[in-house]
Amino acid sequence: MTTSNAGAAAAEAPQDSTRRVAARAALAGGVGTFIEHYEYGLYGFIAGIVIGPLFFPSEDPAVGLLASFAALAVGYVARPFGGIVLGAASDRYGRRPVLVFTLLLIGVATAAIGLLPTYAAIGIWAPILLVLMRLIQGFGAGAELAGAITIINESAVRKRKAALSAVAMAAVGLGGISANLLTTLLGSTISPEAFLEWGWRIPFVLGAVLTVVGLMLRRTMHESPEFERVKAERAAGLIPPAKLNPFVAMGRAVKASPRNWISAFLLPSGFNVTGFIVAAYSISYVVGVRQLPLNQALQMSLIAISVGLVALLLFGLLGDRIGTKRVMYISIVGGVLFAFPYVAILAFGDIGMIALGSVVMYIFGWSAGAAAHTVVMPALFKTEYRASGLFSARELQGAVVAGPSALIAAALVVASGGQPWLVGAYIVAGHLVSLIGMLVGRPFLGATELESTPSLRGWNPRD
């Protein structure tokens, strides 16, 4: 090989390596997110159908429904603790080892739910154990999606940062689709009695198989190049070491820019509320209030999630062309505009119109914002304390806003005598909160980074 050819090969090698690292991070990082939302989607689909009667029996079906969605919200109580503790660990020890640990926690707890005895078998211990498993899942999930977003974002090539980062959120949709498909398949092939007795357990136990596959894939994942740079700078004494106390680590991230931490807390509100209402609560409303067939309701949700997943990937590509800031505003405007038409269709439309309304609401209310925030939110924090800031803000938001959204929607409908109009107002409020988050945030971005990263177009330099 000539000297010039060797020099050319050496120049190209780092770029090829970066592409491989980015691809492996996107694949392995998305696996745990898939499993997390496979479980959350699964629980949401069957909460009002199985979990209520089997674990929270009551003479009033509405009470059992509220209790089952309360158990869904309980998982979000543990998520902030997981986010704070494991976020500090991610900033101290690395993104990769924390993601392996979170995957193990979520997978084991998911499988365990499928093996739990019911209230009829062990009484009050049944809901207690269910809540315990939800807490374990929540602790692990507190670092799973945020961790996947972080490592994929930090590993992505700059010109494809939005498209690659959107993979983490695409895994959310894939998890929901898989849960829906399995539930629909079981519901259509076995009797309702068999589904209630044992069929519902199969998708949960399958979580153990998915966990093993995920752990094998995450063995191929490299540490993010940005974190490796931080490790080298720490070793050279250029930046201070990571904080061992997780609450001190979170405090450091908040202190660095309080307005950015607040922005990260507020930003996901709109698409989180929309996602849980369209993908989870709407099934219970259509079946419980509108008295439409369960299989049709599940198919409706499957269509919305499937189309929304494709839209999310397209919004990721769009973010690399026009900037994720603009894509985020598309989500906010779309969520506000379509909220009340969507709930009107829920209240009065047939199943075909409900499916169409769900698709439109999911595309603009969830897909666009979910894609954009995977780039916007990491930019709010510097690499050395990014996980502590991002995980804590995102998961505290989940506990206060996202987790209880299906429960709040159910309560609003009960308070309105079965009418969903307050749910429309709730969706609008969520997106207005996201708007405030966008206006508050001031990402840490230098002129060089902005120039070389198309998805960050529209922000002003901070460094």
CA distances, 346 to each of 38, 398, 407, 424 (Å):
25, 25, 17, 10
Percentage of the chain lying above the pLDDT 90 cut? 40
pLDDT(44) > 90:
no
pLDDT(1) > 70:
no
Ranges 178-192, 314-328, 352-366: which has the least confidence: 178-192
Q: Determine the pLDDT at residue 430.
A: 95
What total number of domains does the chain contain?
1
Residue 3 covered by a domain: no
414-433 residue pLDDT tens: 888 888 899 999 999 999 99
Query: Which is more confidently placed, 364 or 216?
Result: 364
Is 168 in contact with 148 (CB distance < 8 Å)?
yes
198-227 residue pLDDT tens: 888 888 888 888 888 888 888 778 889 999
Q: How far apart are CA 190 and CA 184, in angstroms?
A: 10
**Domain range spanning residue 339?**
22-242+257-456
What is the pLDDT confidence band of residue 434, given thresholds at 50, 70 and 90? very high
Residue 372 covered by a domain: yes
pLDDT(130) > 90:
no
376-414 residue pLDDT tens: 999 999 999 999 999 999 989 888 888 788 888 888 888
Residue 144 covered by a domain: yes
Residue 11 covered by a domain: no
pLDDT(15) > 80:
no
Give the 3-state secondary structure of residue 226: helix
Average pLDDT score over the chain: 85
Q: How far apart are CA 191 and CA 234, in angstroms?
A: 61
Residue 425 covered by a domain: yes
pLDDT(16) > 50:
no
Residue 17 covered by a domain: no
Query: At 439, which CATH number?
Result: 1.20.1250.20
pLDDT(4) > 60:
no
pLDDT(17) > 60:
no
308-338 residue pLDDT tens: 999 999 999 999 999 999 999 999 999 999 9
Query: Which is more confidently placed, 158 or 16?
Result: 158
What is the pLDDT confidence band of residue 23, given thresholds at 50, 70 and 90? confident
Instruction: Determine the average pLDDT of the residues in 87-109.
Output: 91
Residue 105 covered by a domain: yes
Is 338 in contact with 440 (CB distance < 8 Å)?
no
Residue 410 covered by a domain: yes
Q: How many CB atoms lie within 10 A of CB 11?
A: 9
